[in-house]
C-alpha cells in the first residue's frame, strides 16, 4: 500500500511537471490601436462586419461598425446606412505567424478609414495613417473608397 501511495505521488508530480512550459504571451500588441493615436474611439472594440486580405499589397482588413451599422448590415444588402451608423475599415500590414507555418497575422495598423452617416444620405469620411495614427488632411473626398467600404456585405456565420 505504501508503494502504491509513493507511485501515485511520483506520477502526479511528473505529470504536473511535464505539463509546465514557458508561457509566451500571444497577444499581438503591435496590431492594436495605441493610446497616443488620434482616434476618438477604438474601432477594434466595435462589431466586425467582414474581413478581407490583399495578397499583392501584403495587407489584411476588417470592416467594423457600431451597433447601428452592424444591425443594418445584418438585415440589408444595400449600402444606404441610416443616420448614426459608423463604419471603420482597419487595414494592417501582414507578418508571418510565429506559431503556425504559412499563416499570416496582422502587424502594424497601416490605415483606418472612418465613414460616419448623417441625415439625408450625407456622410463624412476620415482617414488615419502613420504611427501613431494621425488624421490625414484630404484635398478631395475619395468616393471610390467610400463606395468600396459601404458596399461590403456582412460575413455570414453559423
pLDDT at 19: 54
pLDDT at 71: 96
**pLDDT 10s digits, 65-116:** 999 999 999 999 888 999 999 999 999 999 998 888 989 899 999 999 999 9
Backbone angles phi, psi at 69, to 5 degrees: -65, -40
Burial of 121 (0-12, 13-18, 19+ CB in 10 A): exposed
- pTM of the predicted structure, to 2 decimals: 0.79
- Peptide bond just before 132 cis, omega within 30 deg: yes
Amino acid at each position: 500500500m505504501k508503494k502504491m501511495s509513493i507511485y501515485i505521488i511520483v506520477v502526479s508530480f511528473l505529470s504536473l511537471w511535464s505539463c509546465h512550459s514557458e508561457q509566451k504571451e500571444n497577444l499581438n500588441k503591435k496590431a492594436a490601436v495605441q493610446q497616443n493615436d488620434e482616434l476618438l474611439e477604438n474601432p477594434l472594440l466595435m462589431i466586425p462586419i467582414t474581413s478581407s486580405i490583399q495578397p499583392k499589397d501584403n495587407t489584411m482588413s476588417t470592416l467594423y461598425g457600431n451597433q447601428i451599422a452592424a444591425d443594418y448590415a445584418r438585415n440589408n444588402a444595400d449600402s444606404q446606412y441610416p443616420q448614426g451608423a459608423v463604419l471603420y475599415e482597419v487595414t494592417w500590414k501582414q507578418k508571418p505567424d510565429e506559431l503556425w507555418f504559412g499563416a499570416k497575422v496582422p502587424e502594424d495598423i497601416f490605415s483606418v478609414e472612418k465613414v460616419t452617416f448623417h441625415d439625408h444620405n450625407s456622410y463624412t469620411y476620415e482617414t488615419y495613417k502613420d504611427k501613431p495614427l494621425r488624421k490625414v488632411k484630404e484635398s478631395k473626398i475619395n468616393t471610390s473608397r467610400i463606395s468600396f467600404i459601404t458596399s461590403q456585405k456582412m460575413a455570414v456565420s453559423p
